[in-house]
Amino acid sequence: MSSPAPTDAPAARAAVHPIEQESFAILRSRVDLSHLPPLTRAVVERVVHASADLSYVDDLVADEAALVRGQAALRAGAPVVADVQMVAAGITRRTAVCRLAEARSSDGLTRSAAAVRLAFDEVGPGAVWVVGCAPTALFEVLALGVEPALVVGLPVGFVGAAESKLALREAGLPAVSNRSEKGGSAVAAAALNALLYEPPAAPSPEEHR
């Protein structure tokens, strides 16, 4: 099945609401992120803004080069897969694939993991995966070898969340994650939206070599 067409045209971006402007001004008055590279800074700001939790500044793990490539994939029309509908609903300017409603659990496979399998059958390699709820979904992304353009892995919970994110980092995939048990649909969608909202990042000098 072909992926949904991108809808992120810079010229079509709506004006920022005054409340949102004030919220970001408050955020920037409380923490200085100017030392971070552009896309990393955008992701951290969006996650902190979505959660009102400044501790994400030190908790998030992101690599600028991976974000640049992930953003380029999004702009080229790479499909976006969300583990749950709440994540899909939070992603703007892009219709995300979410197959949780059709998925069924079976022996040794949770419904969230089954949904990942259904989605991978549909989108194939090169997608952007956004996991904000179920650690089992993130573990399944890793088990399937999905060859992602980017994985936003921010599931939440006391059982398996931190472990699944550690496994993601150890897998060496292009990813955004965090070290703690925190996470959730809102912050996962916010991290993805940062890449959709930000202007295209300039390639690093290394990428020209």
User: 17, 35, 49, 208: which one is catalytic?
Assistant: 49
Quick check: is 209 in a domain?
Answer: no
pLDDT value of position 112: 95
pLDDT value of position 3: 40
The answer to whether 17 is a known catalytic residue is no
Number of domains in the chain: 1
Q: Please, what is the average pLDDT of the chain?
A: 90
Distances (CA, A) of 206 to 35, 41, 203: 20, 20, 8
Quick check: is 166 in a domain?
Answer: yes
Only one residue has tokens 């408050």, namely: 26
Quick check: is 11 in a domain?
Answer: no
CATH number of the structural domain spanning residue 181: 3.40.50.10230
Model confidence over 107-165: pLDDT tens digits?
789 999 999 999 999 999 999 999 999 999 999 999 999 999 999 999 999 999 999 99
Q: Does the pLDDT at position 47 exceed 90?
A: yes
Quick check: is 2 in a domain?
Answer: no
Only one residue has tokens 């400044």, namely: 54
Q: How many other C-beta atoms lie within 10 A of the C-beta of residue 52?
A: 10
pLDDT value of position 202: 65
pLDDT value of position 204: 53
| Domain that residue 185 falls in | 18-201
Structure tokens at 207: 């990428």
Quick check: is 36 in a domain?
Answer: yes
